[in-house]
Structure 1
Amino acid sequence: MSELDAAYARCRALNARHGRTFFLATRLLPRRDRPAVHALYGFARWADEIVDDGRHADPAADLDTLERQVEDELAGRPTGHPVLTALADTVRRYRIDHGLFGDFLASMRMDLHTTEYASFAELGKYVHGSAEVIGLQLLPVFGTVAPRAHAEPAAAALGRAFQLTNFLRDIGEDLDRGRVYLPQDVLHAHGVDRELLAWSRRTGRADQRIRRAIQHVMAVTLATYREAEGGIELLQPAARPCVHTALVLYRAILDEIAAADYNVLDKRVVVPNTTRAAVALPGLLKAVTARAVSGRLTWNRPDDH
């Protein structure tokens, strides 16, 4: 196995271990494109762990170090780290905008000092770097059947929808880290403050005010999924089953939150394996069909070196 193959294998293992839903959807991509998705996931996971895993004495300094290493790798100065080796190869092959990685790390730094957001507009500045840029990084990998700029708003919306879903699913865990991502103006409009959230987290008891606030954010999230779903037809046919499956599976987390009567602060809801299989199987069949179609369009495709 070459050094590059080993680097991609490392990223694949990270994706399989930590991003089960996303990894399952990635299996529907053509084989040649899967390693790129794993590399992008591996980098994002690395930065996220610097911020959240509690093992870094100086996460700000470690993020600065990571940013310098990324800059070195993208400039052709190898660092020797397998995740960055795979990342640099992916960026070169698919001609991904280097600036997207700086935007991502800027949002990771926000997590070191920002503990709440006044409004959706303010939260949007964080979500752009933490999630929208992920959709934009993946877009060249998926390929488009129209100029890439036409698909970018929907790609960004999909990243935003996934992130908002995470915020709803992980309210309790984020609270343990001192963060509240649900906009403060939405919480206050429904009579919710940090103390009430902490009480629900501690006791496991539901509260109608929290329930209404979650429903409010969920409505925004569902509208964001609808915005993203409209862009799937702009992707290359072979990528559509993967993206559609990821969207449906992640959106199903919202169904599980509703099924739990929005009482999710003391538990983490998950999509049942039966649901995952029911969604993934049709996606697999569509993926096989798409790959069998000859004359695949080639707008914004990578080099094959």
Structure 2
Amino acid sequence: MSARELDAAGIHDPSLRSSYETCRRLNAEHGKSYYLATLLLPPHKRPHVHALYGFARYADDFVDSLTAPDPDRLVAWGDAFLDAVRTGGSDDPVAAAAGHTMSRYRIPVAYVEAFLQSMRQDITVSSYATYDDLRDYMYGSAAVIGLQMVPVLGVVDDRAHHHAQLLGEAFQLTNFIRDVGEDLVRGRVYLPQEDLDAFGVQPHDLRPGPVRPEVRDLVQFEVERARRLYAEAAPGIDLLDPTSRDCVWTAFHLYGGILDEVERAGHDVLNQRVTVSRPRRLRIAGPRLVAAARARRRVRPAHHDGPTTSTSTSTT
């Protein structure tokens, strides 16, 4: 992370700067689409987005790692993080940065508690009977991530919070669609059992190998469901602070583009992990870089020690 970003964010303590850099590296390594989108934010917002992403990724890896899952460590680390948030400070770099961001932007601890509860659910729950059941899980695993980001991004209308929840769900459902084969290796099926039943699909049909037509139809059904979530979430982007809109639009299109790649792959998510190509990512993000720079020029300088609202002279 550049010193300019940390300076802009008012983060001067050397240890804390190092903690934020740890989170930035997690974002860069594991969230290429998110990381690219984050570069469109004003410098003072970027470290805090990296911190929130780093926290979610670090905690998720305790249960999702394909090589060394450690669910017991998730429980202990999560409890220690919550204690640190309540008392202030942590020796763990990810916890230190995330806790600092939560304090600065007054992010409710309840959001983190809900997230950790969903991560713990992955230890014992391997399938979901209905879509409503899955949405209950996604509230903690994804919707609250959107809600955590809102204070950092800034809003011009509080209705943005509802749309942020929906966008978090859209991103999560996109992950579930893309990772069907990978999640089965972990012993989990996130696509609702009621949907499998409707298309005549059994969990063993989701193993690597020839893809049955029924599986392709099931995946397309979930793709269409995810696209409806994106469509519902989209109006919320214009309710964000103008300097954050291009970042979120970029993430919206980059992650939504995974659904296009799923279709382009013939709905085969059992034998490969589809991705949005680097040239396409750059084609999406490039024009937004210019728009983001213009938005920053239209916004008057503000003090960056807490939640922000728009100080723009124009909301176009």
* TM-score by shorter chain over 0.5: yes
The CA deviation at 1:24 is: 0.4
3-state SS in 2 of match to 1:301: coil
Number of residues of Structure 1 aligned to a counterpart in Structure 2: 294
The 1:289/1:55 distance shift into structure 2, 3 A limit, reads same
Q: Would you say the 8 A contact 2:145–2:168 is kept in 1?
A: yes
Which residue is equivalent to 2:44?
32
Runs of 5+ in structure 2 lacking a partner? 1-12, 310-316
Q: Would you say the 8 A contact 1:72–1:79 is kept in 2?
A: no
40, 46, 62: which one aligns with 2:73: 62
21, 24, 29: which one aligns with 1:17: 29
171, 176, 183: which one aligns with 2:185: 176
Q: Would you say the 8 A contact 2:138–2:172 is kept in 1?
A: yes
The CA deviation at 1:295 is: 4.1
The CA deviation at 1:206 is: 2.2
| Whole-angstrom CA distance in 1 between matches of 2:191 and 2:302 | 41
1:286 matched to 2:298? no
The CA deviation at 1:38 is: 0.7
| Whole-angstrom CA distance in 2 between matches of 1:193 and 1:265 | 14
Q: Would you say the 8 A contact 2:23–2:50 is kept in 1?
A: yes
3-state SS in 2 of match to 1:188: helix
> What do the CA deviations read for 1:192-241 (whole angstroms, capped 9, x no partner)?
0112122xx1x2x2211001111111111000001111100100000000
43, 50, 59: which one aligns with 2:55: 43
Task: Provide the alpha-carbon RMSD of the alignment.
Answer: 1.7
Which residue is equivalent to 1:132?
143
Question: Within 5 Å, which residues of 2 pair with 1:1-305?
Answer: 2-53=14-65, 54-56=67-69, 59=71, 61-146=72-157, 148=158, 150-198=159-207, 201=208, 203=209, 205-295=210-300, 300-301=307-308
The CA deviation at 1:14 is: 0.9
Q: Would you say the 8 A contact 2:75–2:120 is kept in 1?
A: no
Runs of 5+ in structure 1 lacking a partner? none
| Whole-angstrom CA distance in 1 between matches of 2:198 and 2:168 | 26
Q: Would you say the 8 A contact 2:105–2:152 is kept in 1?
A: yes
| Whole-angstrom CA distance in 2 between matches of 1:241 and 1:234 | 12
Higher alpha-carbon deviation: 172-181 or 72-81: 72-81
Higher alpha-carbon deviation: 129-138 or 78-87: 78-87
The CA deviation at 1:271 is: 0.5
| Whole-angstrom CA distance in 2 between matches of 1:259 and 1:296 | 44
Q: Would you say the 8 A contact 1:145–1:297 is kept in 2?
A: no
| Whole-angstrom CA distance in 1 between matches of 2:112 and 2:279 | 36
The sequence identity of aligned pairs, in percent, is 43
The 1:144/1:216 distance shift into structure 2, 3 A limit, reads same
